[in-house]
């Protein structure tokens, strides 16, 4: 029986800090004692009905419990090499629907995660819940729960900072990384004017029009039923906290903890010996081509290979082509 799209509540343990030495077992962070406390977590769970009969999408979700949330991923199965697909903001795994078939036809096992706050995963309603650390931890949990090795990470948008960090933190599990229209945030680069306008709009818009955000950043026509598929996970304003929380998470100063983490990830990625590829859209209105060139150089990656007549959501514009490119590159 589907769960009504109401606010739900779970209980989960979280770290908190308190001044002084405290009593009993603790972890130290400077002079503060870090302890666990049981906290209530409000979240939104999208019912099943909006996901019925989506065009071009037949994969059923697999669920696992993590930090009091039910998180979704999709697995094509098989015993071939693993391709782990990491979406970004404000999409969900539906973005990969055209990329997956060429990879499966080439013998790969494709796994796509819905990040917490997106797709069929539960969606915490508190903006403060959404952090770089927490989303990286959720991806690590998926990798560990499925005991994945020899992973070919395919990352896009916010899936890049998260997926590439997970890769550099577990290098023994990595076979390769393929990044598209993404990067790692170091607090040293000024985002484009288009991105600044997007971030300001997201911050002031409670009922964020997810479908319009995706449609506005593709280069080709988007049918109405595909537009509705991107809207499907977010039927009410309360379901959109994650989509609104991500832009402010980008560090604007290089002294912030996330900026320091980003610089570490960039350095570790550049030093990594596994094969690396960058694909980039030639008409991305958010992350222009010069960023693709800079990211490929900084990360020591092959490319960028340009995807023609494609916008920021290049998988939507040219997913079949991208899937074939990745499959051929991995088979080389």
pLDDT in tens, 248-262: 898 888 999 999 999
Alpha-carbon torsion 316, 317, 320, 325, what sign?
A: negative
Task: Give the pLDDT confidence score for residue 8 in this predicted structure.
Answer: 63
CB neighbours of 174 closer than 8 A, spacing ≥ 6?
151, 153, 167, 272, 274
* Catalytic hit among 122, 181, 284, 317: 284
SS3 content of the chain, % helix, strand, coil (to 5): 40, 25, 40
Q: Are 203 and 247 in contact (CB under 8 A)?
A: yes
Query: How far is the C-alpha of 288 from the C-alpha of 282, rounded, in Å?
Result: 8
Q: Coil, helix or strand for 326?
A: helix
| Annotated domain spans of the chain | 45-330
How remote is the C-alpha of 110 from its chain's centroid?
15
Predicted structure pTM score = 0.88
Note if 157 is an active site residue: yes
HSE at residue 123, side-chain half, CA atoms within 13 A, is 29
* Catalytic hit among 122, 157, 181, 258: 157
Q: Coil, helix or strand for 301?
A: coil
If we measure between CA atoms, which residue out of 17, 15, 23, 19 comes closest to residue 39?
15
pLDDT along the chain (332 residues), means of 10: 47 39 33 42 96 97 97 96 98 98 98 98 96 98 98 98 98 98 88 79 90 96 98 97 92 91 97 98 94 96 98 98 98 92
- In degrees and rounded to multiples of 5, residue 198 shows phi and psi of -60, -45
Note if 312 is an active site residue: yes
* Catalytic hit among 73, 135, 156, 312: 312
Task: Tell me if the domain spanning 45-330 has CATH number 3.30.70.260.
Answer: no
């Amino acid at each position: 029986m589907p769960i009504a799209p109401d606010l739900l509540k779970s209980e989960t343990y979280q770290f908190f800090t308190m001044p002084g030495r405290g009593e009993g077992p603790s972890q130290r962070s400077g002079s503060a004692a870090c302890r666990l406390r049981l906290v209530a977590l409000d979240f939104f769970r999208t019912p099943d009905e909006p996901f019925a009969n989506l065009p071009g999408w037949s994969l059923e979700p697999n669920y696992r419990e993590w930090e009091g949330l039910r998180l979704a991923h999709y697995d094509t199965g098989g015993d071939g090499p693993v391709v782990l697909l990491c979406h970004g903001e404000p999409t969900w795994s539906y973005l990969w629907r055209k990329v997956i078939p060429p990879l499966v036809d080439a013998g790969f096992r494709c796994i796509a995660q819905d990040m917490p706050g997106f797709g069929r995963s539960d969606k915490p309603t508190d903006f403060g819940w959404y952090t770089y650390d927490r989303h990286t931890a959720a991806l690590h949990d998926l990798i560990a729960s499925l005991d994945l090795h020899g992973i070919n990470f395919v990352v896009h948008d916010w899936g890049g900072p998260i997926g590439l960090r997970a890769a550099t933190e577990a290098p023994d599990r990595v076979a390769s990384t393929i990044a598209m229209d993404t990067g790692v945030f170091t607090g040293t680069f000024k985002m484009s004017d288009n991105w600044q306008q997007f971030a300001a709009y997201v911050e002031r818009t409670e009922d964020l029009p997810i479908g319009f955000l995706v449609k506005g950043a593709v280069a080709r026509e988007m049918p109405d039923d595909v537009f509705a598929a991107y809207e499907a996970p977010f039927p009410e304003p309360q379901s959109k906290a994650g989509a609104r929380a991500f832009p402010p998470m980008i560090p604007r100063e290089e002294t912030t903890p996330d900026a320091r983490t980003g610089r570490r990830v960039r350095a570790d990625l550049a030093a990594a010996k596994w094969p690396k590829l960058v694909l980039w859209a030639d008409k991305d209105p958010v992350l222009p081509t010069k960023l693709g060139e800079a990211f490929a150089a900084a990360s020591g990656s092959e490319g960028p290979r340009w995807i023609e007549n494609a916008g920021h959501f290049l998988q939507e514009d040219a997913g079949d082509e991208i899937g074939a490119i990745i499959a051929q590159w991995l088979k080389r």
